[in-house]
Chains A and B, each alone.
Chain A
Amino acid sequence: MRGLLLPIALLAAGCDLSGWFSSEPAGGVSNNRDPDTLVVARSSDARELDPALPFDNESIEVIDQIYERLVRWQPTTTALEPGLATSWEVGDGGRLWTFHLRPGVRFHDGTAMNADAVVFSLERQRDPKHPFHRDRFQYWQNQFRNIIKVEKVDDLTVRVAIEQPYAPFEANMAMFPVSIVSPTAVARWGDDFTSHPSGTGPFMLERWDRGQRIVLKRNDDYWDSDHKAALERVVFQVIEDPRQRLIALESGAVDVATQILPEELQFVDLHPGLRLHETPSNSVTYLAMNNDHPPFDDVDVRRAVNYAINKEPIVKLAYQGLAIAASGPLPPTQWGYHKVRAQYPYDPARARALLHDAQVRGRFDPSKTYSLYVPSTPRPYLFDPARVARVIQANLAEVGLHTELVLQPYSQHQRSMQRGEHDLCLFGWVGDNGDPDNFLFLLFDRDNTVIGSAQNAAFYRDAEVHGLLSLAQTSEDKADRERLYARVQERIAEDAPWVPLAHSQVAIAARTDVGDVIVNPNGHMVYARARRLRR
């Protein structure tokens, strides 16, 4: 008769049985997705996953997850910390950098990360005779051309010799092109390595449906056991249409959407299930005045232009609030940023007065029309170039400086700029190594005014600036460098070769159940930190 007890107990429990079959009500839209997978909607797919190749942001974002460098940035700042190298020192008067590698690190394909791998990763880009060198490795020519030789000292020590002392070298070693790649994988895949990447990062490539999606899965053997990725997978999904990206986000089909249309930011802002994550990007948008073209060789004319432009409607209307007005080339988040004395508030009357003086001095001809070169394609730092250009045009017309807009596709626009065809040029820069030199030297040093490859769109040549920048490059003391850069910024503000317009912000829309959304100054999420909030 004891057998009767169990059924009776079950009967008694029966009243609560329904509870067994219903799960907790979901916090948001139910979409049957794996909560350990984060889906990111982007406007386009990566092109190359070989770190030596890409120029596009989408590729770099994925490369950042798969590979690591000897040095890395702290997640939210431009400050450096050890990466694959545990420590490093510089000798021979700043010409010889010795890196001590982290032991026990392996690439995704199992190959050991050691001095050979580091030498291979750098030399294949530097040495044209290297069996795996390709002419397409262009990035090297910009920031790394000062490297003479990369040598193995022992299994865990690498020595990099550079042409002359160069302080920003340290920060350069945190950039994506010098990612350490698995030599075995490169040897195995050859040119197809770009489709079969193998690094040491917290994520590894699981699948790549070119043009559609990239699936990264967690590297469970990641060396930094404290910072293994919280999520099992990250999927980069291509959804070209920005509105469709937002719809996918609303519906829960994706967790994160990048490049939201400015006019839709309000919707995200007001949506209780979505959150907008805004981060200042490490960028600057500027109007460069060609110092080689009169009247912009005259500092008063340049100052007049600075007074004439009202930056407020630009950041409010053209950036929909996703930017702050710039007062100098360095974003406030960049170390080395210095608030300069010479400020140019919106003051059309003063502008007019300055121009009038110039006209009197015969340096300015108000009857002439000057060319304003503008890219017709949006850039990360310039969401709506044409609109910004029209504000500038209107502002300048207001003070008597007449312009015509020359709208060209970006590559054409860049070529025109490098040839110095413009009088005025709307341009921008996204810092790529977190070093002030990356802005100041590249954009203001006279060395970068070579026609055809100039980065200094103002063709600004100032001996003092050049001296200060060169000094800062060879200095090994950061405080020293900060002082030098502050002086450079003062000097540039006085000379006013640009109208610094805006520092744009990166806005990423995410569902509220995505936690620890950290956006680095490159505008990329630190996916290894992201996690799913369970409510």
Chain B
Amino acid sequence: MMRLLRWLVAPLGRLRLRHKLALSLSIAALVPVAVVATIAGGVVLGGLERGLESETQRQLDVGLNLLLRTVERYGADAVRVASTNDLSRAMATGKGAVSALIAREAPLLPAALVQVKDASGQAVLDQVIGGDTARFEGLGLAADAPLVRAGQAWAQRVNLDVITVPTPDGAPGEPRLVVRAVAPIVDESFALQGVVVLSVPLDADFADAIKGALGAEVMIAPRTATEALSTFRDPLGERAPTVAIGTGIAAQAAAGRRVLATAEISGGEYAVAWTALVDVEDHPVGLFGVAIDRGPVASAKQVAFRSLAIGGAVALGFALALAAWLGRRLGAPIARLHRGAIAVARGDLDHAIDIPRGDEIGELAEAFAHMTTTLKENQQRLAARMREIVALHDAGRAVSSVIDLDQVLRKIVDSVARTFDVRLCALWVASAGADGAITLRLGAARSLGRNLRTTLMGSEGAIQARPLLPLAAEVAQARRAILVPRLAEDERRAAIAQLAGIDGSLLAAPLERKGVVVGVIVVGRNADHRSFSDADANLLATFADQAAAAVENARLYDEVRGSSEELERKVRLRTSELTAMNQELGKALADLRDAQAQLILSERLAGLGLLVAGVAHEVNSPSAAIRGSADAMGEVVRRLTSHTVTLAELQVAPEIRRAVIEAAEALAPIVAQRRLPTGAGVRRAARELRGRIDLEGIADPAEIALALVEVGAEPDEAIALCAACTGPARPQLIPLAVGYLTEAANLHRNAHVIQAAIRRIQRIVGALKTYSHLDQQATSSQTDLHEGIEITLALLDYALRDIVVTRRFGRLPLVPAYVDELNQVWTNLIQNAVQALKGRGSIAIETEPHGPGVMVRIIDDGPGIPADVMPRIFEPFFTTKPKGEGTGLGLGIVRQIVEKHGGTVRCESVPGRTAFEVWLPIGAGVAPRAATPVPVEADLAAEVSS
């Protein structure tokens, strides 16, 4: 098994990664599609089948009930005919009378064979009524039939029976199902006169009657039959031949089960259901079945299949597209990696591979980058070495290209100085005396001045180099190079070098020609420079040799020139590759910018979602206030009406009544504006008021005074109101006027609350509209920063419930800005602060003009940002919040937007004070205009909730 699988899978290994990916994704997509299609097919088709099944069952139930009701009715008909006293009288008269009576009853009877027998069972009448006599041929009952006997014992009975009527030639006929109803004929004293028997065959005609009421094809068969009589007809309306009953159906039905099946009947497919017909003893005597055309289901199935096929195809297409997209998406970084590898192979070690870190490819890219860095370092080292060699070559060429010794010497010094990048280079020429003593003469020297700018040549360089003579002499004497990597470790030489202005390292080498020292070259570097290495020493020795053997350098020159040309070619090639690479980089940068813009948009949408939740919350409490007030108003209006009615019923002059109402109406809006008086002052004020108003004759003057004070009326106003109540009914009028005033004032107060709540909702809706800038284009416009900040605060109000927000707004000029993007900045920063505060604390928002721009600071007194997190807070996707609380984009986006506006954002944080500073420049040519802060209805919440 595993081997087979491996054999199957092996060719896949040779595919391209992208194709592999596409293949696996297609399979992964196709399989669920197939499974879903199969399951859905199962559900849909199963549902159709079940629907048809239950419909068939239902039709069977209804059909069976119809059949049995019909049978029952035959019984009732038999009883009705038998129990008409006329029949017992007619029996006494004779057959003719009976026949006439039955003929009279015929219209009320079903098509049946009617038999009337006398008390001894002798036939009085055998008559077919309402139909074709052939249908009833042979159905009659003999005198000794059990059913006739039962009727003679007064039994009223209906039963189903199977009979076999022999054919005229004597052969046994087909079994037939018959309904028989018997009823005793009794006279007034219940004496038995005879029996009536109705026989009706359960045949195709009978089935037609049931079909007419049912709407399904009906089939009826005797118990033993293999074919059923049915209501099926051919296209010309001729009765179709019998319908075959499936094997086993009769047995199953007889066992009391209903049988459901599918059958091919007269060219169509039908769902059929069968049940047994039983006699009164519960013995199965026949089968009853219904058939429902499966045509509609078949076409429904077709539709379902077609829909599933189309759906499957669409799903597959989608899966393939997804696979292609994913393939490209995964393939692209690999291709980039591939390009990088090729570039490196070509030698382009500066090729940057732009793959986001995180996944395995990213890790690979990182490793790759590390590898190229190492390569690049090695290459740089090689290149340096090569540069030295080139320099050496140049020097050799230069040396050998001139004949003049001084020139040669200067060239040597220049070359060495350039090659070794030294502070000082000096060349002594040795001349051997006759005694073999060597005399050193400073041939050429070159020194960098103290300010590192001036090069001291000639005599000045010589002066600088002169103190090194003992060292040169030592070298000449020893005929070997001296390397002092760190002068600090060699006190003696350090002292010498100090005089020459060298404090780093020293290198000196003899120039030998065929065993004779012809000169000494000394180079020195300061401590701020790399110290000489053995390689340098070797190089200098070589150089010394070269210098010594100027003549022989011609051969070396030729060799070196050849390699130099090759090098030049390589350099040119790489330069052109670099240019191409640069262009690619530029394009990648542009892509990155697009992606960032996309990220900003999605973050804004997420923010908007959060805001909407808040807004819904915000709108709720004013709505509740409106509802509450509206409810209260209903009650107030009811009381007001009741006062009005009482007033109307009072026996006073109309003008007095009008005056009272006008006074109360005028006072109501005034007192409604006032705060409701509370506390101990109320009682005192009421006592005082009582002293000032004439409340003569009023039932409870203290109560009236208290009510007037409680409604908020000033003493003068109260007096004026009471003064309006004149005439003999004054004692009744005053309480009414006070009541009226109280309710009218309540009405006004409730109206105020509703208005305030509506204002609040309007403000929130307005803020939301402005925030999302639905009505503006996303273009830069001169913006009042305060407005944006206020809108943001308004929308975040629900989150700021337990936070003290302090605004310190300076006078700001308008700022050119993309308003909605800046709102995003405020939202993110304020939300950040809210989350840092965990919903409790204080936030300060400060604005001020700052240099050529404006500064906005959002400061919270939360725990602060840890120092280790601080450097990363503006990185995209960096978050310290639990999963789901922050995308990690917030502050990154803040920086993006601010930088897009040419501004800066920075953060300072210590525990207890975290400040985000956003600085935005004022665009050139924009006239500063004072921005007006949006008034905030801070007291509104209290007003609404009261």
Q: Which residues of A contact B (CB under 8 A)?
A: 1, 4, 7-8, 10-11, 14-15, 17-22, 25-30, 250-251, 263-264, 266-267, 269-273, 275, 310, 312-313, 316-317, 320-321, 391, 394-395, 397-398, 512, 535
Those of B586-617 within 8 Å (CB) of chain A? none
Known: A1-B9, A26-B57, A29-B61. A395 touches B35 (CB 8 A): no
Given contacts A22-B49, A30-B57, A316 and B155 within 8 Å (CB-CB) = yes
Contact yes or no, B68 A267, CB < 8 A = yes
How far is B190's CA from A310's CA once the two chains are assembled, in angstroms? Answer: 9
User: Distance (Å) between the CB of A312 and the closest chain B CB?
Assistant: 6
Identify the stretch in B70-78, B450-458, B524-532, B576-584 within 8 Å (CB) of chain A at 4 or more residues. B70-78
Contact bitstring B3-44, A, C-beta under 8 A = 1, else 0: 001000100000000000000000100011011001101110
Which stretch, B255-263, B838-846, B922-930, touches the partner chain A?
B255-263
- 15 inter-chain pairs at a CB distance below 8 angstroms, sorted by A residue, are A7-B31, A18-B49, A20-B42, A25-B53, A29-B58, A267-B72, A270-B160, A270-B277, A271-B278, A273-B275, A310-B190, A316-B155, A320-B156, A391-B189, A394-B190
Are A272 and B154 also in contact (CB < 8 A) when A7-B31, A27-B258 are?
no
Contact B46 A271 (CB under 8 A): no
Which residues on A sit within 8 Å (CB–CB) of B159?
270
Interface centre among A27, A30, A273, by most chain B C-beta atoms within 10 angstroms, is: A273
B5 to A8, Cβ gap below 8 A? no
In this complex, which of B61, B79, B284 has the most chain A Cβ atoms within 10 angstroms of its Cβ? Answer: B61
Q: Which residues of A contact B61 (CB under 8 A)?
A: 29, 250-251, 273
In the bound complex, residues from chain A placing their C-beta under 8 Å from that of B50 are: 22
In the bound complex, residues from chain B placing their C-beta under 8 Å from that of A14 are: 34-35, 38-39, 42
User: Across the interface, do A512 and B75 meet the contact criterion of CB distance under 8 Å?
Assistant: no
Known: A18-B41, A22-B46, A266-B72. A535 touches B257 (CB 8 A): yes
**CB-CB nearest in chain B for A390:** B190
Does B188 make an interface contact (CB < 8 A)? Answer: yes
Q: Given A30, A270, A397, which contacts B54 in the complex, CB threshold below 8 Å?
A: A30
Check if A512 sits within 8 Å of B189, measured CB to CB.
Answer: no
Assess whether B209 is interfacial by the CB under 8 Å rule: no
CA distance A391 to B191 in the complex (A): 9
**Contacting residue for A27 out of B54, B75, B257, B282, CB 8 A:** B257
Minimum-distance CB pairs A-B, first 3:
A7-B31, A394-B189, A14-B38
Across the interface, B277 reaches (CB within 8 A) one of A22, A25, A27, A272, namely: A272
A338 shortest CB reach to chain B, Å = 26
Q: Which A residues are in CB contact (< 8 Å) with B38?
A: 10-11, 14-15, 17
- Check B57–A272 contact: CB distance below 8 A: no
Docked-complex contact A394 and B188, CB < 8 angstroms: yes
Give complex CA distance A312, B154 in Å: 7
Q: Number of B interface residues at 8 Å Cβ cutoff, please give it.
A: 58
Contact B49 A266 (CB under 8 A): no
Q: How near does chain A come to B615, taking the closest CB pair, in angstroms?
A: 45
> Is B46 within 8 A of A264, CB to CB?
no
Give A32 to B436 CA distance when docked, in angstroms: 131
| B residues near A264, Cβ cutoff 8 Å | 72
Task: State how many angstroms separate the Cβ of B803 from the closest Cβ of chain A.
Answer: 52
Other-chain contact of A316, B64, B71, B153 (Cβ < 8 Å): B153
B46 engages A18 (CB within 8 Å) = yes
Binding site secondary structure of chain A: helix
Which chain B residues (270-297) contact chain A, with CB distance < 8 Å? 275-280, 282, 284
Asked if residues B189 and A272 are in contact (CB atoms below 8 Å), the reply is no
Asked if B69 and A25 sit within 8 Å, CB to CB, the answer is no
B45 interface contact, C-beta 8 A:
yes
Cα separation A398 to B187 with both chains bound (whole Å): 12
Cβ-closest chain A residue relative to B260: A25
Say yes or no: B46 contacts A272, CB within 8 Å.
Answer: no
| Cα separation A4 to B28 with both chains bound (whole Å) | 8
Give bound CA distance, A317 to B53, whole Å.
Answer: 42
Given contacts A1-B9, A394-B188, A394-B190, contact A266 B158 (CB under 8 A): yes
| B766 CB, min distance to chain A CBs, angstroms | 54
Task: Select one of B69, B76, B79, B154 contacting A313, CB under 8 A.
Answer: B154
Q: Which of A21, A270, A271, A535 contacts B43 (CB 8 A)?
A: A21
Complex Cα distance, B9 from A92, in Å, reads 100
Complex contact A266–B258 (CB within 8 A): no
| Residue in A closest to B186 when the chains form the complex, CB atoms | A313
Smallest distance from the beta carbon of A16 to chain B beta carbons, Å?
9
Interface 0/1 of B188-218, CB less than 8 Å to A:
1111100000000000000000000000000
A397 — which chain B residues lie within 8 A by C-beta? 189
Residue of B nearest to A30 (CB): B54
Asked whether, in the complex, the Cβ of A17 is within 8 Å of the Cβ of B256, the reply is: no
Cα distance A14–B42 in the bound complex, in angstroms? 8
Q: Does B755 contact A (CB under 8 A)?
A: no
Q: How far is the CA of A395 from the CA of B192 in the complex (A)?
A: 12
Known: A22-B46, A272-B276. A10 touches B68 (CB 8 A): no
Beta-carbon contact of B258 and A270 below 8 Å: no
Chain B residues near A310 (CB, 8 Å)? 190
B65 within 8 A of A: yes
The minimal Cβ–Cβ distance linking A316 to chain B, given in whole angstroms, is 4
* Closest CB in chain A relative to B322 CB, distance in Å: 17
- B410 contacts partner chain A, Cβ-Cβ < 8 Å: no
Asked if A25 contacts B256 (CB within 8 A), the reply is: no
Residue among A11, A25, A391 making CB contact with B35, cutoff 8 Å: A11
Q: B87 → chain A, closest Cβ, in Å?
A: 15
Interfacial chain A residues near B43, Cβ < 8 Å? 21
* Alpha-carbon distance A7/B277, docked complex (angstroms): 49
A95 to B188, alpha carbons, bound, how many Å? 56
B68 to chain A: which residues have CB within 8 Å? Answer: 267, 270-271
Question: Cβ of B223 < 8 Å from any Cβ of A?
Answer: no
CB pair A21 B42 closer than 8 Å: yes
Residues of A near B9 (CB, < 8 A) are 1
Given contacts A4-B27, A272-B276, A321-B155, contact A267 B69 (CB under 8 A): yes
Query: Which residues of chain B have C-beta atoms less than 8 A from A19's C-beta?
Result: 42
Q: How far is the CA of A29 from the CA of B155 in the complex (A)?
A: 32
Once the chains are docked, how many angstroms separate the CA of A7 from the CA of B38?
Answer: 12
Asked whether B157 is an interface residue with its Cβ less than 8 Å from the other chain, the reply is yes
Given contacts A272-B64, A273-B275, 17 further A-B contacts (CB under 8 A): A4-B31, A7-B35, A17-B38, A18-B46, A19-B42, A21-B42, A21-B46, A29-B61, A263-B76, A267-B69, A270-B279, A271-B64, A271-B65, A272-B276, A312-B153, A391-B189, A391-B190
